């Protein structure tokens, strides 16, 4: 007994001297997280705001000036309304199939030849590319239908639960910031693309368990660790055509 106490005191003293807060092997307190099933399978919606939505809304809020003119959003236009406000002249909603009453355009972004070129000043593409089998073709379409000077604001998952009942059969990909940089840079040009990764190990664990953003502090959510990419954000602007000399 005395020997065990000495070992534990020695381990604590060693960690204190090294400035480490890592628990010793065998002494990790898992608490409610020691389970093989998640706390929630609903992304956190049943507990509050999902962790990824916290990052999405921070990104769109910081890029709100780009949400102006004629805006296209996928699924619905809630973010167009929330972050675009009076800057939006016209709002369109795209959906891949018939049946969405909010959709004004029905098309598959990977082969949407029916959408005219140079049409939109902004495209909001949140959590969509993982559901498109050919994301490179989708990015090429986005570039084509953006007006010169127009911007796409895209987000997609990194570390994530991979499916739910609605999209299980169409969930093809998770991404990294390196993949996003290549995917958009090849089309828009690397100088026109800003890629960021959000998240850290605590945010990743919480998101995988279905905890809500409200269950973490802003300090815990806002620390980004490049080794734990929970959400990838992309802001890409279509270059304007050079002016013809007179």
Predicted structure pTM score: 0.89
SS (H, E, C) 83-109: HHHHHEEEEEEEECCCCCCCCCEECCH
* pLDDT band at residue 47 under the 50/70/90 scheme: very high
Identify the residue whose tokens are 């534990």. 8
Domains of the chain in sequence order: 32-237 (3.40.50.150)
Is 159 within 8 Å of 115 (Cβ atoms)? no
Closest residue by Cα to residue 220 from 205, 241, 208: 205
pLDDT digits (tens, 9 = 90+) for 87-145: 999 999 999 988 888 999 999 999 999 999 999 999 999 999 999 999 999 999 999 99
Give the CA count within 13 Å in the CB-facing half-sphere of 9.
Answer: 6
Rounded Cα distance, 208 and 81, in Å: 29
Whole-Å CA distances, 69 to 65, 81, 119, 149: 10, 12, 10, 12
């Amino acid at each position: 007994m005395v020997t065990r106490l000495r070992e534990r005191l020695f381990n604590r003293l060693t960690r204190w001297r090294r400035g480490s807060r890592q628990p010793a092997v065998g002494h990790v307190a898992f608490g409610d997280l020691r389970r093989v099933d998640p706390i929630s399978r609903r992304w956190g919606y049943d507990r509050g705001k999902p962790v990824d939505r916290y990052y999405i809304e921070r990104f769109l809020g910081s890029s709100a000036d780009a949400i102006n003119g004629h805006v296209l959003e996928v699924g619905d236009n809630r973010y167009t309304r929330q972050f675009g406000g009076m800057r939006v002249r016209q709002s369109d909603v795209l959906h891949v199939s018939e049946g969405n009453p909010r959709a004004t355009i029905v098309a598959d972004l990977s082969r949407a030849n029916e959408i005219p070129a140079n049409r939109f000043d902004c495209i909001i593409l949140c959590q969509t590319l993982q559901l498109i089998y050919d994301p490179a073709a989708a990015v090429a379409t986005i570039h084509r239908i953006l007006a010169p000077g127009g911007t796409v604001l895209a987000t997609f998952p990194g570390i994530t639960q991979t499916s739910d009942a609605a999209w299980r059969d169409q969930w093809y990909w998770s991404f990294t910031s390196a993949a996003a940089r290549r995917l958009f840079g090849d089309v828009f040009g690397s100088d026109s693309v800003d890629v960021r990764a959000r998240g850290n190990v605590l945010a990743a664990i919480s998101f995988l368990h279905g905890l809500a953003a409200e269950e973490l502090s802003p300090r815990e959510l806002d620390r980004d660790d490049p080794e734990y990419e929970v959400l990838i954000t992309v802001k890409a602007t279509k270059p304007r055509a050079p002016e013809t000399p007179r």
